[in-house]
Amino acid sequence: MNSIQLEKNISLSNFTTWRIGGPAEWIAQPKNIEEIKYLINWVYKKKIPCNIIGAGSNLLINDKGIKGLTICMRNFKGIQIDQSSEIIEVLSGEMLPTLARKAAASGLHGLEWAVGIPGTIGGAVVMNAGAQEHCISNYLESITTLSLTGEYKIMKVKDLNFGYRYSLLQNEKLIVISARLKLETGHADKIRRVTSENLNHRLKTQPYQEQTCGSVFRNPEPLKAAKLIEELGLKGFRLGGAEISKIHSNFIINSNKASSYDVRELIQYIQKRVFNSYGILLETEVKQCGF
């Protein structure tokens, strides 16, 4: 008998950094590969939808909730570091800041930029997460995925068609199981110092302690979404319980029990204002689920 707990009608607001979202019809939090296999087999037999989430740090979930089974990967953790080969194998539920700190402590250089990104490795790979001109695909060798029919696949970086905040995984129903990263040996003290400096910079320039999802919009390179929004005088603008951060205008804060509707309305308002002023349609970086 499998010990994985399947829960019914649990609010997903506790599973997103925005603290927004209605109930999952079913939800489970697997800790190992056997439990994941059990869950996808259960979904297959039941013939119901399956949604995969990580830390919920880049996710807006409808207040009406989500049908089917939501698999939350945030308890599926593990890091193996081989300093001699400069290779890190990491399970997809591991948090990026934890990985960045452990890499730094092992004297491996490359992930200093990732210490302030509150997402899982799985989510980072799917979104090609990045900061400070770096992104996860620069350090990735391969990933292992599992399909909803139970087939394993090792995918190389070239197979994933990475772009700015994009990977092929955004269009395919595959569960990221693990990632293999190649870093470089460096001076541990220096790497730790740069990692700490990066985190401190993020704490000062972003509303890190607030309920947000990180950057809402992709940057329309070479322009910056935050600058366009700020130039329109929108810092601090509110719709319902959703507010454009006064610290960083590409962040929307759940400042007072915001609904998913409040956030969507604010996103659309920003898009309209920016388009009317600059002729630029801002694309969202945040993923929307259940709408």
Whose CA is closest to 28, among 46, 44, 45, 15?
15
- Concerning whether 215 is annotated as a catalytic residue, the answer is yes
Parallel/antiparallel/unpaired status of strands 108-109 and 23-28? unpaired
Among the listed residues 137, 215, 245, 249, the single catalytic one is: 215
Among the listed residues 101, 165, 180, 202, the single catalytic one is: 165
Query: What stretches of the chain show up as alpha helix (H) in DSSP?
Result: 33-46, 96-105, 121-127, 188-205, 225-231, 260-278
Torsion angles phi and psi, residue 23, rounded to 5: -75, 145
Parallel/antiparallel/unpaired status of strands 59-61 and 287-289? parallel
- Concerning whether 86 is annotated as a catalytic residue, the answer is no
Contact 187, 174 (CB under 8 A): no
Contact 206, 200 (CB under 8 A): no
Whose CA is closest to 260, among 279, 238, 241?
241
Parallel/antiparallel/unpaired status of strands 87-91 and 66-72? unpaired
Quote the CA–CA distance of 128 and 68 in Å, as a whole number.
Answer: 27
- Concerning whether 165 is annotated as a catalytic residue, the answer is yes
Find the distance separating the first CA and the last CA of the chain, reported in whole Å. Answer: 35
Cis peptide before 207 (omega within 30 of 0): no
Residue positions annotated with a catalytic role: 165, 215, 285
